[in-house]
Structure 1
Amino acid sequence: MNPRKLLVFLIICSLSCGPSLVSSNNVNLEFQFFNLRNLTLLGDSYLRNGVVGLTRDLEVPSSSSGSIIYNYPIAFFDPETNVTASFSTRFAFSIDNINPTSFGDGLTFFLSPNNQTLGSPGGFLGLVNSSQLTKNRFIAVEFDTKLDLDFNDPDGNHVGLDIDSLISVKTANPMLRAINLKSGNLITAWIDYSNERKKVEVFLSYSSFKPDEPLLTVDIDLSDYLKEFMFAGFSASTEGSTELHHIQNWSFQTTGFRPVRPRIHSHNVSDSSVPLRPPPIPVSDSGNRHHKRIGLALGIGCPAFFCAVLVVFGWVSVKKWRGIRTDKSLKAELVTGPREFNYKELKSATKGFHQSRILGHGAFGTVYKAFFVDLGTISAVKRSKHSHEGKSEFLSELSIIACLRHKNLVQLQGWCVEKGELLLVYEFMPNGSLDKVLYQDSESGKTLKWSYRYNIAVGLASALTYLHQECEQQVIHRDIKTSNIMLDGSYNARLGDFGLARLMDHDKSPVSTLTAGTMGYLAPEYLQYGKATEKTDVFSYGVVILELACGRRPIEREEESQKTVNLVDWVWKLYSEGKIVAAADERMTGEFDEAGMKKLLLVGLSCANPDSSERPSMRRVLQILNNEAEPVVVPKVKPSLTFSNSLPLSINEIFSDGEDCGSPKSQLDIRVD
């Protein structure tokens, strides 16, 4: 807003005010035929002459699964108005077969928070992964053509409502309407959900006319399952059959969102309220004095008010000018490469940085989930705190990570410097942070599998090998911890948060700096001298590896004795007693490779050795985990390390991120043996 417009705006605001609210919009999609412009094909699905095929078109029996998903997320819940949308969809499909005796398994229409939903062949209907039955989240209506007792199917020709499981909430047989799903005929399906009535209804017909009575009616409240944004699509599967699944057309609508309009303050006066004759106005000396007082008050008040408006105008203008100058100076410092986002675009994608979009908090600021509806993508937006430290960390992170390319690093997509805000845009990690998966998810009964844990250890070692030895300039991360390790859709490790990272020339001596990081992950020599080296990163990696293997935080307080336990000390004690495998996370109930577990624990101890000279390089660690090198010999007793002088820094100076200190189990432990 330019200064002239701003002045007019301030004067108007001083006279009147009207609120302006924004609400989610209803969606209306119509596909008479399909094209790849707005759709994503996954698995074995294909597009031919405007018709979607979901499984392989072969003359010989095969196992196949495929899905097709509308590219753009659809709003189903508005957190600002607390409204859940109703929806209705209509589509025409056919299920045919070259061999009439070879039917199976069927197709589904689904809604999912994931735009990569693809499941296994066979009875999993291309919707659920056979090795991770609870991984995919969905609301689906299945059109099942095979009896599968594992999923409590009533017969080989039924329609069912599925929620996060292929064991249907309720089913119905379409033969009640003289409809055979396997007839090869074109069938039109209507699926309606009314949020007001809390009811799902499914209609089927061989014609394009909607029947009066539904085939399947389910009384259910879907508001707990309809997230703020969902993706819509179809999936199908076969197993040892030649069944074909085609979708010919599709329409989809949501209803229930009512945009909130600005309230207009009007002053309507009816004819009857206006007197025909104005009452006589008495004239007297007292009246004249009264008018003079009013005139005097107005003569003083109006200029004073106008002066106040000018002062506000001047203050805002100066602040805006300084902000523009700061933004320009910041942009001049930024590297070229990542996209520069518009602030308005990021604000819209995060619903005005709404509380419901918060993914987490860190040293840099707050991270929000962002839906870019126009692009059909989801990202994570990191919004800085308003401080000088925030600016320096922002520039540090951007200048470092923009130049990095590795499969185990979180990819930077763009940045924004506007409105006094510092924002970074990253690719969205569906499974969140390792910290969340290891601890928060476990409280709800979900335990990270051993294969994922080992893969995370290898991926993180690969990323650090790249940062330490393969970049043009060595990168010291300085804040490696479980909350800074993100997990993609396949639980691969992605190291992020480079706000405290430092660039160094290879083979150059480190310079002492203010100690920064998180207690429990800091190497003893880093606490003592404030010198960050690749070996201090190796120490932090070792602590993370022990967390992965043991499922325990670096520093915990025992519930019974209230004694503080250091994870490294605890594992080393078990190792000295010859029972290191006993440190394995009990929640895995023994479902892990014992030799691999022992290797992982020993690698963790070797990296967390108090003597930095005895720690292996990250390249050596990666080789050990990939069985390309012999493990490092770990002493049975934890080595002692003595410093000649006391710690030079106070606890307040050591901390750059106190977010972990709020945990009831976390305690400060800066003792060095």
Structure 2
Amino acid sequence: MAFWFCCGKVSTRRRRGKEQPKWRVFSLKELHSATNNFNYDNKLGEGSFGSVYWGQLWDGSQIAVKRLKVWSNRAETEFTVELEILARIRHKNLLSLRGYCAEGQERLIVYEYMQNLSLHSHLHGHHSFECLLDWNRRMNIAIGSAEGIVYLHHQATPHIIHRDIKASNVLLDSDFRARVADFGFAKLMPDGATHMTTKVKGTLGYLAPEYAMLGKANESCDVYSFGILLLELTSGKRPIEKLNSTVRRSIVDWALHLVCEKKFSEIADPRLNGNYVEGELKRVVLVALMCAQDLPEKRPTILDVIELLKGESKDKFYHIENSEMFRSLLAVESNDETSVAEDSLDYISEEKELQRPLKGNN
């Protein structure tokens, strides 16, 4: 499916032999009505891109509407990129496109509404007090998210790098099935390319070092981000913990220290109250730390990650379990705290998820 702009409208061209898209063009009037004129009480979250609102169409179906900020070249680019990506993908663990609107300077993307909002909301937001994520749900979310990324990296044509894997971009449907969302930063990976050098975009705490420093992006960058996500899902901690006004500690350094001391139980989210499968927790933590290594060539592929999370490769896990990186406590201690200069974070996007549920909706 190809997109281009003409006189302020998005046109679509259907490839010969392909089925009709399952999305449509919405009018601005229709979306104003669905979201109660983009009322604050309907807002699900906001970030550098704009805001996301809950809405209900005339037929009663619920939608989520991303309203990009006032028109700019950046907004236009992200709008076009996300539509291009969403038109290419169909997978049970990726958020589906319902449609879009491009009228005047308004750029809006319409998605399926996910009743349980995002993983972020359950770990750090309003739902974090309700403790709805038991261990079984967390394992299913980990595996489901990974399967969505497998589709992007290995099944989509051309392959797709997400570039913004994080808790607020993993949405949860009514059965807590994971849907990876938000493709505004995504890149199509040319056939045969080992990496792309591009402007850095993403979120503090999730960025692979080679990408953050050099702008080198490939599938391995998503694997790094997913490793951070796995640690976050297991522990309930944020990717970066603020120790004081100038010093931060990453979730990787914190977890690696405990793993080297064989204290896996101290990594588990206290909200689980000890109700988890010890072998699975150990497996998830070790796989997460392998994913979040500084050197990209040492990280597994997302296909390896799926196999390991499901416990399907005992030999591979044996080698991970006995890896040198989990034996040297000295190396962990020397890198336990990291000083982060605030003015070095200008390229970071930050999404803010509201700390309350929608009125009469959840």
Matched residues in 1 for 2:298 and 2:203: separation? 23
Q: Select 1:468's aligned residue among 153, 162, 171.
A: 153
Q: 1:331 aligns to what SS in structure 2?
A: strand
Amino acid at match of 2:81: S
Equivalent position to 1:383, from 55, 67, 71: 67
Please point out which of 193, 199, 203 is paired with 1:518.
Answer: 203
**Retained in 2: the 8 A contact 1:535–1:615?**
yes
Quickly say closer, same or farther: Cα 1:459–1:443, change in 2 above 3 A.
Answer: closer
**Residue type matched to 1:350 in 2?**
T
Displacement of 1:486 in angstroms is: 0.4
**What are the equivalent positions in structure 2 for 1:592-671 lying under 5 Å apart?**
592-630=276-314, 631=317, 633=320, 634=323, 635-636=325-326, 637=328, 651-655=344-348, 657-659=349-351
Partners of 1:364 and 1:356 in 2: CA distance:
19
For residues 603-622 of structure 1, the C-alpha deviation after alignment (integer angstroms, 9 at most, x for no partner) is 11010011111110001111
Match of 2:10 among 311, 326, 331: 331
Mapped to 1, the partners of 2:94 and 2:13 lie a distance apart of 18
In 1, distance between residues paired with 2:32 and 2:8? 22
**Separation (CA, whole Å) in 1 of partners of 2:8 and 2:29:** 20
CA contact (8 A) 1:335 1:402 kept: no
Counterpart Cα distance in 1 of 2:134 and 2:206: 24
Aligned length: 329
Match of 2:339 in 1: none
Measured after TM superposition, the shift of residue 441 of structure 1 is 3.6
Q: Which amino acid aligns with 1:581?
A: S
Structure ranking higher on relative contact order (CA contacts 8 Å, 6+ apart): 2
What is residue 536 of structure 1 aligned with on the other side?
A: 221
Question: C-alpha displacement at 1:419, in angstroms?
Answer: 2.9
Q: Is the 8 A contact 2:9 2:103 kept in 1?
A: no
Provide the TM-score with structure 2 as the length reference: 0.84
Identity, % of aligned positions: 39
Within 5 Å, give how 1:50-449 maps onto structure 2. Answer: 328=7, 330-332=9-11, 334=12, 336=14, 337=21, 338-373=23-58, 375-386=59-70, 387-441=72-126, 443-449=128-134
Of the three residues 500, 503, 506, the one matched with 2:185 is 500
Please identify which structure carries the higher helix content.
Answer: 2
Q: Does residue 581 of structure 1 match 2:265?
A: yes
Q: How far is 1:563 from its partner?
A: 5.4
Letter in 2 for 1:409: L
Q: In the superposition, relative to structure 1, how do residues 509 and 444 fare at CA in structure 2: closer, same or farther (>3 Å)?
A: closer
Q: Greater strand percent: which structure?
A: 1
Cα separation, 2, equivalents of 1:390 and 1:555: 28
Cα distance, 1:447 vs. partner? 4.3
- Largest Rg, 1 or 2: 1
Sort the Cα spacing of 1:533 and 1:326 in 2 relative to 1 into closer, same or farther, 3 A.
Answer: closer
Cα distance in 1, alignment partners of residues 169 and 128 from structure 2: 20
CA distance, structure 2, for counterparts of residue 608 and residue 335 of structure 1: 40
Equivalent residue letter for 2:106? E
Give per-residue Cα distances to partners, 1:287-329, cap 9 Å, x unaligned: xxxxxxxxxxxxxxxxxxxxxxxxxxxxxxxxxxxxxx97635
- How many angstroms apart in 2 are the aligned matches of 1:506 and 1:575? 38
1:434 Cα deviation (Å)?
0.5
CA contact (8 A) 1:441 1:447 kept: no
Question: What residue number does 2:336 align with?
Answer: none
Q: Secondary structure at the match of 1:381?
A: strand
**Partner AA of 1:359 in structure 2:** L
Distance apart, 1:352 and its partner CA: 1.1
Aligned pair 1:547/2:241, yes or no? no
Per-residue deviation, 1:528: 1.7
Residue deviations 1:56-102, cap 9 Å, x none?
A: xxxxxxxxxxxxxxxxxxxxxxxxxxxxxxxxxxxxxxxxxxxxxxx
Matched, 1:509 2:194: yes
CA deviation after TM superposition for structure 1 residue 448, in Å: 1.4
What is the alpha-carbon distance in structure 1 between the residues aligned to residue 51 and residue 6 of structure 2? 20
Which residue of structure 1 aligns with residue 250 of structure 2?
566
| Residue 446 (structure 1) shift | 2.6
Name the CA distance, whole Å, in 2 between partners of 1:345 and 1:327. 21
The one-letter code of the counterpart of 2:299 is R
- Per the TM alignment, residue 330 of structure 1 is displaced from its structure 2 partner at its CA by 4.7
| Structure 2: segments with no counterpart, 5+ residues | 15-20, 333-342, 356-362
- The CA distance in 1 between the partners of 2:131 and 2:246, in whole Å, is 27
Structure 2 residue identity aligned to 1:367: V
Separation (CA, whole Å) in 2 of partners of 1:445 and 1:520: 25
1:527 Cα deviation after fit: 1.4
Match of 1:590 among 274, 290, 309: 274
Amino acid at match of 2:143: V
- The 8 Å contact of residues 335 and 398 in structure 1, kept in 2 or not, is answered as no
Structure 1: unaligned runs, 5 residues or longer: 1-324, 641-649, 664-673
CA distance in 2, matches of 1:597, 1:329: 51
2:189 and 2:196 in contact (8 A); partners too: no
Cα distance in 1, alignment partners of residues 243 and 62 from structure 2 = 40
- SS in structure 2 of the partner of residue 402 of structure 1: helix
